[in-house]
Amino acid sequence: MPQDIAYLVDADPAPGTLRDIAPGVRWLRMPLPFRLDHINLWLLEDGDGWTVIATGLATDENRAIWQRVFAEALDGKPIHRIILTHFHSDHSGLAGWIAERFGAHLWMTEGEWQRAQIFHHARSAAWMDTVAGFFTLAGCDADVVAATRQRWSSIGDRVTPLPARTNRIAGGDVIRIGAFDWRVLIGRGHAPEHASLYCAETDTLIAGDQVLPKISPNISVSPEQPEEDPLTGFLDSIAEFRTALPDSATVLPSHKLPFTGLHRRLDELAHHHDERLGVAWELCATPRTVMEVTGKLFRPGLDSLQTSLAVSEAFAHLNLLVSRGDLERGRRSDGVFEFAQP
Ligand SMILES: [Zn+2]
């Protein structure tokens, strides 16, 4: 029987708070200007310097927090390595800024590096048209398409350019950080080649966004690949993590609180998607657009960011059902995708 989920601390720390959370690991809480209002960063003691995992969005507030951390919390030692689990801007936003300040090296997987190149430079009209086309295909009305276009066009404002030099990491690599070895585990679905790190000696998993407590990592279809099926990859990764990692591991997630109960959480995430797949399939007894399914799968009153994430996530569930042969994807006369049971 998997153990129950238990949290290492009782309450969310205030933004900017630092605390020791695992051997050689300091936890830094940073604010995010969204409904999900924070991200967890990890500072790892690394010989004569520090390795930092995730960096926060490129906002003035986060720069100020970092300045205080640089001055007061690093024992006078520099950050000499930045590891990004994946390319998302809340993780990668200040990587270029920190790299420049300390001459720190950036480490990330090939898949995440490539995706970062697209998103960190995605300001072209052609890219914005692709984004707008994606949400139109999903059956979103013009207001939602305009809001998502607006949101995507501002993504580049919250990231600093990544350094040109990058050390690539891959699944199975072992990275020595200070006194400990950390093994890279690749997760799919939330991002193309997400890297989690596991230290067997301290039984600690730096999960990134691949495994989160309380919230399900967003699984989104990418605008430039509207027929892709990222959810199959995510579910495969859940099964792989369950086999590869012990239930006893301390999990350090990028959002919410550190916890134990890894296998139960993996089971819950698999169950959550199974349930959603069942609901989406039943809805398609009559032909449905992605937007129609989104409206039934998610609670009403989402803001524009949440709506675009919800649409992309409903898309992922529908595309998986198409991959399995449980649904067919056709087009309405206006070109909008429509999903139906065969
Ligand atoms: Zn993410």
Share of the chain above pLDDT 70, in %: 99
Whether residue 151 has pLDDT greater than 90: no
Distances, alpha carbon 246 to alpha carbons 198, 205, 260, in Å: 10, 10, 10
Average pLDDT over the chain reads 94
Whether residue 6 has pLDDT greater than 70: yes
How confident is residue 302, by pLDDT bands cut at 50, 70 and 90? confident
> Which of 98-107, 161-170, 328-337 comes out lowest in average pLDDT?
161-170
Residues 6+ apart with CB under 8 A from 286: 340
- How many Å lie between the centroid of ligand 1 and the Cα of residue 325? 29
Share of the chain above pLDDT 90, in %: 80
Quote the tokens at residue 294. Answer: 């989104």
How confident is residue 87, by pLDDT bands cut at 50, 70 and 90? very high
- How many Å lie between the centroid of ligand 1 and the Cα of residue 170? 18
Q: What is the DSSP string of 21-85?
A: EETTEEEEEEE-SSSS-EEEEEEEEETTEEEEE----S-HHHHHHHHHHHHHTSTTPPEEEEE-S
Give the separation between CA 166 and CA 164, rounded to whole angstroms.
6
- How many Å lie between the centroid of ligand 1 and the Cα of residue 216? 11
How confident is residue 122, by pLDDT bands cut at 50, 70 and 90? low
Give the separation between CA 126 and CA 152, rounded to whole angstroms.
12
Locus of tokens 């153990």: 3
Predicted TM-score (pTM) of the model is: 0.95
- How many Å lie between the centroid of ligand 1 and the Cα of residue 335? 31
User: In this predicted model, what pLDDT tens digit does every residue of 130-149 receive, in sequence order?
Assistant: 999 999 999 998 888 888 88
CA atoms lying within 13 Å on the CB side of residue 231: 27
- How many Å lie between the centroid of ligand 1 and the Cα of residue 264? 21
Across 98-165, where does the E strand assignment appear?
A: 105-109
Q: What is the mean pLDDT of residues 287-303?
A: 91
Whether residue 58 has pLDDT greater than 90: yes
Are 22 and 204 in contact by the 8 Å Cβ rule? The answer is: yes
- How many Å lie between the centroid of ligand 1 and the Cα of residue 136? 24
- How many Å lie between the centroid of ligand 1 and the Cα of residue 287? 31
Exposure string over 20-56, b if 16+ CB within 10 A, otherwise e: ebbbbbbbbbbbbeeeeebbbbbbbbbeebbbbbbbb
Give the separation between CA 108 and CA 169, rounded to whole angstroms.
6
User: In this predicted model, what pLDDT tens digit does every residue of 201-229 receive, in sequence order?
Assistant: 999 999 999 999 999 999 999 988 999 99
- How many Å lie between the centroid of ligand 1 and the Cα of residue 209? 5
- How many Å lie between the centroid of ligand 1 and the Cα of residue 219? 9
Give the separation between CA 54 and CA 80, rounded to whole angstroms.
13
Give the separation between CA 199 and CA 176, rounded to whole angstroms.
10
Whether residue 303 has pLDDT greater than 90: no
